[in-house]
Amino acid sequence: MPSPDQAVWNLGPVPLRAYALAIILGIVVAIWLGNKRYVSRGGQPGLITDIALWAVPFGIVGGRLYHVLSDWQIYFGPDGRGLTAALRIWDGGLGIWGAVALGGLGAWIAARRHHVALPPIADAIAPGIALAQAIGRWGNWFNQELFGRPTDVPWALQIDPAKRPEGYEQFETFHPTFLYESLWLVGVAVVVIWADRRFTMGHGRVFALYVLLYVAGRGWIEALRIDPVNTVGGLRLNVWTSVLVGIGALTYLVWSARTRPGREVLSGSDGQPEAPDESADESQEDSETTPR
């Protein structure tokens, strides 16, 4: 499997970068699918786009912060690339957990401003986020980065000598971990959509299921990668993050299913879960207590 020989195309003075285009395309797909799913659940049309105006910038900043902080030595260690390189987001480097954390904060702020509940929004957008990640991973292919151990399998990825990590200069082909993760994420999106329809999931459980399935794949894919990263106890930092986040997602799934079964019913006007009809309950109680 060859790697692209070009990752940037110049239209006059304007550079078009494959990494950025992949991220943008993923965002568009996520918003489109998220809006479609939110409306089908009774939410307000166009609200997901309004939420994205906050969530996307927050998510990009969070993703970059996570990458820089978790691999700080690349930029600020001995012979580091410096602050300017840390800001060059178009060269690649977005940590998904930072993107989810700050993106979630941005979504929460937007939801508060629009007076809508956040869990139904998270459930609607979850498979779209998986597809956005799947598309965004192809930016790594163009940049020839984040590949795995050397291999000679038929689908092995060819890497240019200048892009090979120190100690691996003699190898020509490597595991295309970007492809593995992209295909895994497409599968995650399909399973999440199926499970949501099959079990009528709500109250944030769709999003939790997406997180749980994603980290299950990220764990074994991360074990294949050879790019230099910080480790804790012999394991890559992202593996530990995946384990902890996965435990949290599983715990929430079980707890939420027991305490809040079913799915919220949204009113189309404001996207808020509908309140119980107390008047109906009161009239029923009156009829039961009235002597006949």
- For 90-132, what is each residue's pLDDT tens digit? 666 778 888 888 999 999 999 999 999 999 999 999 999 999 9
Phi and psi for 221 in degrees, rounded to 5?
-70, -40
Which tokens belong to 90? 């178009």
Which tokens belong to 101? 């954390």
Measured distance CA(38)–CA(107) in Å, rounded: 14
Instruction: Classify residue 240 as left (phi > 0), alpha (psi -120 to 50) or beta.
Output: alpha
Q: Residue 44: what pLDDT?
A: 93
Q: Residue 151: what pLDDT?
A: 96
Q: Hey, where are the domains in the chain? A: 21-261
Helix (H, G, I), strand (E, B) or coil at 228: coil
Which tokens belong to 222? 């991360």
Measured distance CA(156)–CA(50) in Å, rounded: 41
DSSP 8-state assignment for residue 133 = H
Q: Residue 175: what pLDDT?
A: 96
Q: Residue 46: what pLDDT?
A: 94
Q: Residue 272: what pLDDT?
A: 61
Q: Residue 275: what pLDDT?
A: 47
Measured distance CA(51)–CA(48) in Å, rounded: 5
Spans of the chain, pLDDT less than 70: 90-92, 267-292
Q: Are 140 and 91 in contact (CB under 8 A)?
A: no
Which tokens belong to 97? 């957990």
Q: Long-range contacts made by residues 228-234, C-beta under 8 angstroms, separation at least 24? A: 228/71, 228/74, 228/165, 229/70, 229/71, 230/70, 230/71, 230/73
Stated as kind and residue range, the H or E segment containing 16 is strand 14-17
Q: Residue 267: what pLDDT?
A: 64
Stated as kind and residue range, the H or E segment containing 231 is strand 231-232
Q: Residue 283: what pLDDT?
A: 45
| Strand partners of residue 17 | 8
Q: Residue 66: what pLDDT?
A: 82
Per-position DSSP letters for 119-143, written without gaps between them: HHHHHHHHHHHHHHHHHHTHHHHHH
Closest CA to 150 of 221, 223, 224: 224
Q: Are 222 and 231 in contact (CB under 8 A)?
A: no
